[in-house]
Amino acid sequence: MAMRLALKFGYDGRKFHGFVRQPGQRTVECDIMDALQNLRILAPFASPRTIRYGAASRTDAGVSAIGNAIAFDTSFRRDALLPALNARLEDIWFHSTAAVLDGFWPRQAQMRWYRYHLSTNEIGDLDALRLALRLFTGRHDFSNFCRAEGRTAIRTIRKLRVRKSGPFITVDLFSQGFLWNIVRRIMGAALAVSCGELRQAEVRRALDEPGRKADLGLAPPEPLILMDVAYEGVDFVRDGKAIELARRRLERKRSEAIGTLLLASYLLPTGKSP
């Protein structure tokens, strides 16, 4: 008997040309569709609509995730689903499931949480960065800070938090709904203020006068992570084995990154030839 399941998952966005399916491009959704077809959850060449598939957030190329969500109808055994999906996927890891009501759609989230990472040498004046970011909290018309694609650009940033986390300064943004590029454009403008390239008054004007076109910069996608998507009354059950598998995969990536950093260190101006 078919049931409706919601699944949470993460991915390394650097490996994909964004989330949404695109012809001739490797995307997160393309890989997920391939895995669902391989498991016969989705019939070959069938539309995802046949299983009422839906996704919570469509991240940009280069943007990673820890807690994105999808939902679909399936008769596949729930306890076997995550291992089966993870065995067929690279750079994507499913870690949690929830049985949901028939009318559940992932886009209808209660809250979304994004985190942007900054190294300290990217920031000019940290206090200026904080003050600039504070301008974006609350309800605004973000026309100058997003690609609305026909939707309203009025959004509410319910909470914004800046703090030091290990070697990074992290910026956490919480909203029920984000628009394409909105976090990266917010960060681009705030970073420019911190480095003295923009004045806070220019940022405030771009928010207060959305009809007056302004481009205040676009921060890189790689430091951005979708941390979580929350739903009222939905309890996701985390799979310990799936979490451990994801940790092992990421540990290999960390080891590769350390090796790359070591080699790159010999190219720095202060390095000495053998």
Give the global pTM: 0.90
Do 119 and 91 share a domain, yes or no?
A: no
Is residue 78 a part of any domain in this protein? yes
Is residue 272 a part of any domain in this protein? no
Axis crossing angle, helix 126-134 with helix 182-194, rounded to the nearest 10: 140
Which pLDDT score is estimated for 268?
59
Which pLDDT score is estimated for 271?
44
End-to-end Cα distance, the chain: 68
Is residue 46 a part of any domain in this protein? yes
Do 118 and 205 share a domain, yes or no?
A: yes
Is residue 273 a part of any domain in this protein? no
Q: How many CA atoms lie within 13 A of 141 on its CB side?
A: 11
Do 24 and 82 share a domain, yes or no?
A: yes
- What CATH number does the domain containing 237 carry? 3.30.70.580
The set of long-range contacts for 160-163, using a CB threshold of 8 Å and a minimum separation of 24, is 160/133, 160/134, 160/136, 162/126, 162/129, 162/130, 162/133
Which pLDDT score is estimated for 89?
95
Is residue 155 a part of any domain in this protein? yes
Residues facing 228 on adjacent strands: 113
Do 115 and 222 share a domain, yes or no?
A: yes
Do 89 and 195 share a domain, yes or no?
A: no
- What CATH number does the domain containing 198 carry? 3.30.70.660
Do 213 and 115 share a domain, yes or no?
A: yes
Do 141 and 207 share a domain, yes or no?
A: yes
DSSP 133-160: HHTTSEEEE-GGGSB-TTS--EEEE-EE
SS3 126: helix
Residue 18's nearest CA partner among 57, 53, 49 is 57
Do 148 and 195 share a domain, yes or no?
A: yes
Is residue 274 a part of any domain in this protein? no
Do 209 and 115 share a domain, yes or no?
A: yes
What average pLDDT values come out for the chain (274 residues) when binned by 10 residues? 93 94 94 97 93 95 95 95 95 96 95 94 91 96 88 94 88 94 96 95 94 92 95 94 85 76 67 44
Residue 241 is part of which domain span? 3-108+232-255
The percent of the chain in helix, strand and coil, each rounded to the nearest 5, is 35, 25, 40
| DSSP structure class, residue 197 | S
Is residue 167 a part of any domain in this protein? yes
Do 148 and 92 share a domain, yes or no?
A: no
Is residue 219 a part of any domain in this protein? yes
Alpha helices in 88-239 (DSSP H): 126-134, 182-194, 200-208
Do 13 and 90 share a domain, yes or no?
A: yes
Query: What confidence tens digit (pLDDT) does each residue in 19-68 have?
Result: 999 989 999 999 999 999 999 999 988 999 999 999 999 999 999 999 99
The Cα 269–Cα 54 span in angstroms is 50
The Cα 129–Cα 122 span in angstroms is 11
Q: The tokens 């499931």 sit on which residue?
A: 97
The Cα 21–Cα 172 span in angstroms is 27
Count how many residues are written for the chain. Answer: 274
Domain count, the chain: 2
Do 90 and 119 share a domain, yes or no?
A: no
| Catalytic site positions | 60
